[in-house]
A and B are shown apart, each in its own frame.
Chain A
Amino acid sequence: MNKVDSPQVTKRKTRLSSSCTPNAIESATTTINLPPLTLRDLVFGEEEPLTYDDLISSLPGRRNQIFELVRLLGPVDSPVSPIFVYGGASNGKTSTILQVFRHLNRPFVYSSCRTCYNARQLFENILNQLLLHRKSEINGYSSAKKCEKQADFVNLLKEALVGVVDSLKVNLGKSSGGSVNGSMVYLIFDSLELVRDWDKSSTILPFLFKLHDILKVPDVGLIFVSSSSLDTFYSDTGFVDPIPVYFPDYTEDALRQILMRNQPNPKLYSAFLDLVLKPFCRVTRKLDELSAGLSPLFKKFCEPLDDLEVNPVGENKRKLLNCLQPHIAPAINEILRVTTMSSQVNMKKKKSGASDSIDEIEFHMSTSAKYLVISAFLASRNPATLDASFFDSTGGPANQKKKRKSSEKSKELKEALEEEQFMKGPGTFPLERLLAIFQCITSGSEYPLEEEEEEEEEEDKSLMSDILLQVSSLCSANFISKGGSCPLEGSTRYRSTISEDLALKVAKSLKFPLTKYLYRK
């Protein structure tokens, strides 16, 4: 089913490993002597080139885009303007282009700006492929050419391109070189949108877009692949736009065709999709999210079945569908949730069951760490000025005072404050405040804390160093985020990232009356 990934996987296999025999793989621990790369390695894999019909049927829903691309690339050895392929994530841009090249059987150089994470990696990767250089133990996994600056890259690239094109032309003349079509080389830059986040992106992007004009080599074609449109690539003085090719998201029909591929029991799966695909598509039409989300649901769907080969018809089908119906809505909520900092932990907890009365948390955390989490939560939510009234030694929060305050405020002001809280999110606090609150809530005699009492007996200093260690480990586990330093005080400020639900649950597990200490506007 992993249609999106498969071409890349095969490509990598064909480029790197499939050229060595199975025997060689067995002795992988010793040095492998890969045969030197040839021009043949610049085309897609060793499989037979696809016919146009196979190409269309292998990529459902991409007929128009394939047509457009093949037409723009044109007949063998015809020059091409730079092409800019864009469209949302996981809708088959990369695989379509690679398969189109497999169909055309023309030499190309593919490099993704995701794996080549900076300019130097990108440049060297392209040059390596063009110079048929393989990183190996013998050359100490070094690149063919050292190249960091754009100026050097242009010179080296021109040299390499001319070399490759010349040898391709010689090959064509020999007529034995029928394995490669044409003497043009295409450079494919995938995930171009990531370049925007590189340092010096303001010079690299216009440079890449202008590369075709700078090179002035007619035998090279440039193809950019990006998940965001051209108008998001700002630059000071702009650039001449390449020819755009837009990949719209898959339609529901296309998604169905893709999901149906490689299913052992197509009829059963199709019945399943009838029920499930629509509600899921209302939330997302991204293939990667859908395929990940649907597989556990399909397992649930199959649970009542003894025989997976069964063909659901009539009564049988209705029964199955009825079984699944109640699971869909929760499944959407469960599967398509985002793991952010605050929900990360919740997810772990939810596993234990659907019931809401979970008191215990499923992850292990020491008692003092739990208190720290609560202290951090309080420090983030409560205004610092009210700390004294909440935690002063005369005991307990000043309930009356709080009530009077809230009654004083008009309703509008309250709403405005609430809005502000929504906008600002949890506040920041210095370490000292966290430790002070921690001291207060652990030493509060009102609440007998059996576990803590043991710690209390220990020496104060050792406790403090231990606590500081715990703070830093909570930071690295993302319960507390460490922010920039305060411009006035100059000390590092922290911020609690957990949600209120989680804080309440942690408090519950400690039998700590959190709500009593929480400032409500």
Chain B
Amino acid sequence: MSPMGRGTAEEALVLLRRRLCDPNFIFSLFSDSPDSNYSKLKFIVSSSITEACNNSILLLGPRGCGKIAVLDLVLEDLLKEYPEMISVIKLNGLLHCDDNCALKEIARQLCIEHELMFSKMASFDDNSQFMIAMLRECGLAHKTVIFILDEFDLFAQGKQRLLYSLLDAMQSVTSQAVVIGVSCRLDADQLLEKRVRSRFSHRKLLFHPPPKDDLQRLLKHILLLPTDSSLSHDYITEFNLKISNILADKRFMEVIDKLSDSDSTFSNFIRFLFSAVSLMDLKSGLMTLDNFKSALSSIQRQPKLDCLKDCSVLEFYLMVCMRRLETKGQELYNFNSVMNEYKSVHDSYQLQTHDYHSRSVCLRGFEHLVDRQLIEFADRGHNQSMEFRAVKLLISSFELHQGLKSNRLLPVILEKLMESKN
């Protein structure tokens, strides 16, 4: 392995990071196949542009499957193909779920698009009339307005006035608009009111996590450096050779399998690649299998187990006492009953005195457990002081066992206490 100049390696790293942070680059891989969502969506939208009709589609699928990225790619292409014939209005349910706010945003974006003055003071009715008028104008000019409603399910909360007025405006012959709803709820169309649903065409495109062979293609697409870049030719061949070796490695496939076992969406995959790439050694400028392995362990964390590793001896005692109460069949317990158990455990097992703390110190340990979200108050009694509020453990006995095992500093007696019944 020849030592590369820091500059070259850094340049390659920046290039890889750019790619990973650019969804357009990642999903452009799938745009050529005819049965991809990209092609379907493009066909639907472009036909409604050319045929000058109204349309509505829902893009559904779990988070991180590239709904918005594919949509962006399609729009980008369509804007190139039909310049001056499309204007895009983008709304997001997280930002504009309030009808007033949404209509204002539509008016604002329409104004920017058509170089008009936008008035902040306009009322809901003004904006809604403005929108209908604009739709008519655009229809007469054979210009298609594309409404993108991200987080579509959030628009379906409340009275759905926005959806109704939008879809109702599209019933007229003169208008020419496409409404594209994007949601991670597969039942998003069931959320619509009857009057809205009847005006909605029930076209749906489903997005899925990528199958395995797509992942392989994607890996090559992302990780192999382009041969036509400004980097030195020798470096590129060396880098790509190394990557191909890793991709062919059986151990690498195991890592990928482990990753997709828990979450096989694009976003998880890209997160994984991002942290692997950022671990790349800048001296050699090459990626290693270890980079991917350590990226996997940093992405797939188990927060409760991590939390348990940090717990002090006292906190473990308290949790074990709660666990014992649970095995005894006591469903509800609070600090006082835990303290009783703690005391009886101390009495019957002759614990070392330096692990038997006063009540108020235990209360602090108890507070820490609440802070760490290992236990939670089971009631909403804000009025009652903490000692009396019922709590419940948020970890299973298996997790507690794991925690006990992973912590070497703990007294052995704790494991015994977990197992014994009395």
Contact = CB atoms under 8 A, between A and B. Distances in A.
A23 B342 CA distance: 61
Contact of A248 (B310, B312, B368): B310
Contact of B365 (A75, A249, A284, A484): A284
A425 B390 CA distance: 10
B13 A89 contact: no
A81 B274 contact: yes
A229 B95 CA distance: 25
B307 to A, nearest CB: 7
A149 B100 CA distance: 12
B213 interface: no
Contacts of B371: 88-89, 227-228
Contacts of B363: 337-338, 340, 343
Nearest to A71: B278
Contacts of A132: none
B275 A422 contact: no
B68 to A, nearest CB: 7
Given A88-B310, A246-B306, A422 B336 contact: yes
Interface string A234-256: 00011111011110110000000
A166 B368 CA distance: 46
Contacts of B304: 229, 231
B78 to A, nearest CB: 18
- Residue from the set B310, B334, B358, B365 with the largest chain A CB neighbour count within 10 Å: B310
Contact of B373 (A232, A237, A239, A340): A232
B364 to A, nearest CB: 5
B402 to A, nearest CB: 16
Contacts of B360: 333, 336-338, 340, 343
Contacts of A241: 267-268, 271
Contact of B267 (A240, A244, A343): A240
A213 B94 CA distance: 12
Nearest to B20: A81
Given A338-B360, A423-B332, A78 B92 contact: no
Contacts of B275: 72, 243
A210 B63 CA distance: 11
A81 B385 contact: no
A332 B360 CA distance: 10
Contacts of A426: 388
A150 B94 contact: yes
A72 B273 CA distance: 12
B94 A207 contact: yes
Interface in A344-368: none
A151 B96 contact: yes
Contacts of A423: 332-334, 336-337, 388, 390
B105 interface: yes
Given A74-B17, A89-B371, A282-B355, A243 B312 contact: no
A154 B13 contact: no
Contact of A279 (B271, B274, B279, B354): B354
B303 A214 contact: no
Nearest to A484: B383
Contacts of B94: 150, 203, 206-207, 210, 214
A244 B279 contact: no
A483 B373 CA distance: 27
Contacts of A230: 303
A277 to B, nearest CB: 12
Contact of B337 (A75, A81, A422, A495): A422
A342 interface: yes
Interface string A205-217: 0110010011000
B95 A425 contact: no
A248 B307 CA distance: 8
Given A79-B18, A81-B21, A423-B332, A213 B68 contact: yes
Interface in B183-212: 184-185
A74 B271 contact: no
Contacts of A240: 63-64, 267
Contacts of B92: 214
Interface in B323-347: 332-334, 336-337, 340
B21 A218 contact: yes
Contacts of B97: 203
A424 interface: yes
B113 interface: no
A340 B387 contact: yes
A228 B394 CA distance: 14
Contacts, number: 183
B372 A243 contact: no
A172 interface: no
A286 B63 CA distance: 37
A75 B8 CA distance: 12
- Residue from the set A86, A151, A337, A341 with the largest chain B CB neighbour count within 10 Å: A151
B95 A207 contact: yes
A286 B368 contact: yes
Contacts of A244: 298-299, 301
B157 to A, nearest CB: 10
Contacts of A337: 358, 360-361, 363-364
A75 B18 CA distance: 12
Contact of A238 (B22, B184, B298, B334): B184
Nearest to A68: B298
A150 B95 contact: yes
Interface string B74-102: 00000000000000000010111100010
A329 interface: yes
A332 B312 CA distance: 14
Interface in B9-26: 10, 13-14, 17-18, 20-22
B386 interface: yes
A284 B368 contact: yes
B314 interface: yes
B316 to A, nearest CB: 10
Given A338-B363, A495-B383, A88 B17 contact: no
B367 interface: yes
Given A240-B267, A423-B333, A283 B101 contact: no
A284 B364 contact: yes
Given A89-B371, A151-B95, A424-B388, A419 B306 contact: no
17 contacts: A80-B17, A86-B303, A88-B307, A88-B371, A151-B105, A238-B184, A241-B267, A243-B271, A283-B357, A286-B368, A332-B361, A336-B360, A337-B358, A342-B387, A419-B337, A424-B388, A481-B385
Interface of B: 10, 13-14, 17-18, 20-22, 63-64, 68, 92, 94-97, 101, 105, 151, 153, 184-185, 267-268, 270-271, 274-275, 278-279, 298-299, 301, 303-304, 306-307, 309-310, 312-314, 332-334, 336-337, 340, 353-355, 357-358, 360-361, 363-365, 367-368, 371-373, 383-388, 390
Interface of A: 68, 71-72, 74-75, 77-81, 86, 88-89, 149-151, 154, 203, 206-207, 210, 213-214, 218, 227-232, 237-241, 243-246, 248-249, 279, 281-286, 289, 329, 332-333, 336-338, 340-343, 419, 422-426, 481, 483-484, 495, 497
Given A81-B274, A340-B363, A340-B385, 5 more contacts: A75-B13, A151-B105, A229-B307, A289-B364, A424-B388
Q: What 6 A-B pairs come out closest when comparing CB atoms?
A: A425-B388, A229-B303, A337-B360, A79-B21, A249-B310, A151-B95
